Structure 1
């Protein structure tokens, strides 16, 4: 018996990277998982196939989180496919991509996060959990400077975390807990790749400062742990290298 048997989860942005790694861990613990993607259906279908090959349950559901209709359809897809929605992992983020508009980072990292949480919470039962995934660079942006190329993204993600935390009392009324997982730069993510292009040497510099950077799989496992961790609502779990930022 898995610890998440008879539970259903949505992991946003889970066709690759941290989201895919998190989805696989949750499925391995018994959860039925909605693998969300924006454009790359084949990549999401591959994640689903890997989960099913390991004996788990999953479906791939496309949806642009900056589109309200897509958000509502994504939340409903979990209920329709699995009968409930018990876990929401808000992993999708971005803002360094080109051609999506100057306000894209804020629309995705703040507005879309709030929309997704609200749509999901209306379908979640007491005892459910929401996990928001962020970075130390974003979580501590008001007190610790980050790289110029990442600052707009960091500030939009911090704005997203602040907006989500404002909903904690509303979630408490519904019996839903909210947890934040903050990590250092993660090797192998698209954000790290784009940042390295914009600022060559950024990854190595951060690795030296932190002593270690988590891999996608390692960080995904830490995110998955917080789905069932015995922590109070509003808790922030720091994964790797937070001492520098906290100091």
Structure 2
């Protein structure tokens, strides 16, 4: 039986209408939190995630917001407070940069600037004891030491810039008693990023699977993210490396 350790808590999970975000939302809701399921365009998909949570006895609401647009972050923060009474958990899962037609600065705008704006908006209401989880990839986390696939490099560099910008906020987070946790995973089977990368660079996912030994599924990675939520033994700014990091660490020295 799932423990209800998050009962009475409000959570925002960005980019949670599908994939890792949706799977994480279900796990967090199962522990009692009220979850804001965020989508950018696909409302029916987000509503389906909410329906699944509610059918399992959980609480959730679908909220449309583009984090790269002014007011997007505030919309999500306000939704958590309005529907669930507080915002105690922010999982920064939304990322991108390989999409066509979004402009050359889109990766940095989404993966760095929007993440910082989301955190700053959340800090206006988050109480002491809250947690922020930033979801990244090994390809991004280690990009300054280890080259990645050409098609993914702009995304990797922008996500590392986002991680660095959030770490720069740690003094503010310390003052407020809020924990930042970074969770880094390898390429994840079945995600949109993996699909786009394979399209841009055929064979890339097979090569990464061989190097890592195994690539996590969406559900497996979501479980790793959820397992970090509410941990009392984590240091500020802790980075959790999930699966397949050994070759990165070897190259990192």
The bucket for the TM-score relative to the shorter chain is over 0.9
Q: Is this contact kept in 2: 1:68–1:115, CA < 8 A?
A: no
Aligned position for 2:43: 41
Q: Is this contact kept in 2: 1:15–1:35, CA < 8 A?
A: yes
Give the paired residue count: 247
Which aligned pairs between 1:114-153 and structure 2 lie closer than 5 A? 114-153=116-155
Aligned position for 2:161: 159
Which aligned pairs between 1:3-42 and structure 2 lie closer than 5 A? 3-42=5-44
The one-character-per-residue Cα deviations of 1:8-54 (angstroms, maximum 9, x if unpaired) are 10000000000001000000111110000000000000000000000
CA distance in 2, matches of 1:169, 1:222: 26
The question of 1:214 aligning with 2:216 is answered yes
CA distance in 2, matches of 1:228, 1:219: 17
CA distance in 1, matches of 2:20, 2:70: 24
Which aligned pairs between 1:74-85 and structure 2 lie closer than 5 A? 74-85=76-87
Q: Tell me the secondary structure at the aligned position of residue 149 of structure 1.
A: helix
How far 1:138 moved relative to its partner? 0.2
The question of 1:233 aligning with 2:231 is answered no
Q: Tell me the secondary structure at the aligned position of residue 76 of structure 1.
A: helix
TM-score by length of 2: 0.97
TM-score by length of 1: 0.99
- Point out 4+ residue stretches in structure 1 off by more than 6 angstroms: none
CA distance in 2, matches of 1:209, 1:101: 32
Which aligned pairs between 1:100-119 and structure 2 lie closer than 5 A? 100-119=102-121
Q: Is this contact kept in 2: 1:207–1:213, CA < 8 A?
A: yes
Q: Tell me the secondary structure at the aligned position of residue 49 of structure 1.
A: helix
The question of 1:196 aligning with 2:198 is answered yes
How far 1:80 moved relative to its partner? 0.6
Q: Is this contact kept in 2: 1:32–1:82, CA < 8 A?
A: yes
Aligned position for 1:52: 54
Q: Tell me the secondary structure at the aligned position of residue 82 of structure 2.
A: helix
How far 1:68 moved relative to its partner? 2.4
The one-character-per-residue Cα deviations of 1:157-201 (angstroms, maximum 9, x if unpaired) are 000000000001101101100000000010010000000000111
Which stretches in structure 2 are left out of the alignment for 5+ residues? none
CA distance in 2, matches of 1:172, 1:37: 30
CA distance in 2, matches of 1:121, 1:217: 29
The one-character-per-residue Cα deviations of 1:53-109 (angstroms, maximum 9, x if unpaired) are 000000000000011212111111100111000000000000000111100000000
* Alignment RMSD: 0.7
